[in-house]
Structure 1
């Protein structure tokens, strides 16, 4: 079926999942996010910056090495695709205007670094570290209480790598009507990074970039993968490996003895799954799909073990929230949970 014959508004979920990326009838122009993109360009103009990174649609957010541009994920370009993406992965990265702008500013930091070769400069390395340091392969150790980094997008991403530290710092600097000098005055290390970005960008006003490539990497037109295969791959990537401590944790929370008014543990976990997923993901800085898969495993095992509540639903919910959040944080620290990197 030709692109102009595909109507996402009236297509079923099954029909959309069977489509290849190259068949999706989406574009940045006239999409819901076009006004946000224009606002982003206005932010650059307000800072006196003439350079504009070029944008295109791909399967995820990224700014490729050697190309001063930004790829925006396909699902943000149509309401039907957002709905499908949320159903598949329980979150839409950049789905709200606030989050979209924060991520776009972050990726712009990478694009500006590429355009002007900033990370090759000795002063950059003194402030942010070695840009050639290997990226973490699956996860990274984070400290939510550190005052050495700015905070822009989730998972304290600045702590993952020097290049991400710079991109996050650039994003905070670019944010309009934000007094970063006041916000970070009690965090001298983070403030020093912001002052560096401020000084560098002032020098770059009116300058032409050193790297001017307008290439577009991994565009939708180049991608013949079906959406169904894409989501299966993403679910596999975010899944937690087998948790040997599952039975021990469940026995802490529930009982094998049947009470007079029995409430099955697996029924309880199904009932509160959405609330637990949301809160544990927020408190542990782990993707909600990962939490969802973990809860599915616990629910299935609780049914196999024929466990029951031993306290009230309210008390059990509080215990479950605390204990599972702790378990997830431990798994993350042991690098058995993957964080986006």
Structure 2
């Protein structure tokens, strides 16, 4: 991209960039779809570009930061996730979508396992985590938070689901001495 094209690119509104999730993240989505099918899960979320990672509460819509759409945007953003971190984050967000799509959070056995879905999210929860707890899996540690599952029952579910979904995660061996986490898996 020459300087003129680059300057034009910088002044283009995001909505005019013709961003396409399938085109930009196709290999990740294909891999994710295969993992879901291998577990006989047919629900496929709606993916769109937004400001940050997330699954809209009680929907199957997953937001992916728009700067993952083009290399030029990733360069402007600077610090972006590596490929393996992207697929891990997608698994986590799909965990939310599965929970919402099938309304698992309404089930008594879900609540008995993960807790009250309607519990308020704890801000500043890191000061109250138990770093030695073996009741929660550790999945999103690359984001600097090995205790994210302790934030809320919905996050506990999404983290547990992501570990369970991942091929070759070896979760039975990895969590064999963590009876509460293993039971959730």
| Structure-1 residue corresponding to 2:68 | 76
| Structure-2 residue corresponding to 1:285 | none
Which structure has the higher relative contact order (CA within 8 Å, separation 6+)?
A: 1
Stretches of structure 2 lacking an aligned partner (at least 5 in a row): none
Structure-1 separation of matches of 2:154 and 2:89: 14
Q: Secondary structure at the match of 2:134?
A: coil
- Cα distance change of structure 1 residues 8 and 145 upon mapping to structure 2, 3 Å threshold: farther
Q: Does the 8 Å contact 1:62/1:71 carry over to 2?
A: yes
Residue 15 (structure 2) pairs with residue 28 (structure 1): no
Kindly report structure 1 stretches of 4+ aligned residues shifted beyond 6 Å.
none
| Structure-2 residue corresponding to 1:63 | 55
Structure-2 separation of matches of 1:129 and 1:106: 18
User: What is the aligned-residue RMSD (CA, Å)?
Assistant: 2.3
Q: Does the 8 Å contact 1:8/1:80 carry over to 2?
A: no
Residue 160 (structure 2) pairs with residue 169 (structure 1): yes
- Cα distance change of structure 1 residues 24 and 187 upon mapping to structure 2, 3 Å threshold: same
> Which residue of the other structure, out of 171, 177, 182, is the alignment partner of 2:173?
182
| Structure-2 residue corresponding to 1:327 | none
Encode CA deviations 1:252-288: one digit per residue, 9 max, x unaligned: xxxxxxxxxxxxxxxxxxxxxxxxxxxxxxxxxxxxx
Encode CA deviations 1:152-180: one digit per residue, 9 max, x unaligned: 11302111111000000000000012221
Structure-1 separation of matches of 2:71 and 2:125: 31
- Cα distance change of structure 1 residues 175 and 11 upon mapping to structure 2, 3 Å threshold: same
Q: How does 1:258-273 map to 2 (within 5 A)?
A: none
Encode CA deviations 1:28-68: one digit per residue, 9 max, x unaligned: 1322x211111100111111112211211111111112311
Structure-2 separation of matches of 1:29 and 1:15: 21
Residue 6 (structure 2) pairs with residue 11 (structure 1): yes
Structure-1 separation of matches of 2:125 and 2:133: 18
Q: How many residue pairs end up in the alignment?
A: 180
Q: Cα offset for 1:81?
A: 0.8
Q: Secondary structure at the match of 2:139?
A: coil
Encode CA deviations 1:98-136: one digit per residue, 9 max, x unaligned: 101111000011101111110111111111111111112
Q: Secondary structure at the match of 1:114?
A: helix
Q: Does the 8 Å contact 2:88/2:140 carry over to 1?
A: yes
Q: Secondary structure at the match of 1:29?
A: helix
Q: How does 1:108-119 map to 2 (within 5 A)?
A: 108-119=94-105
Q: Does the 8 Å contact 1:9/1:80 carry over to 2?
A: no
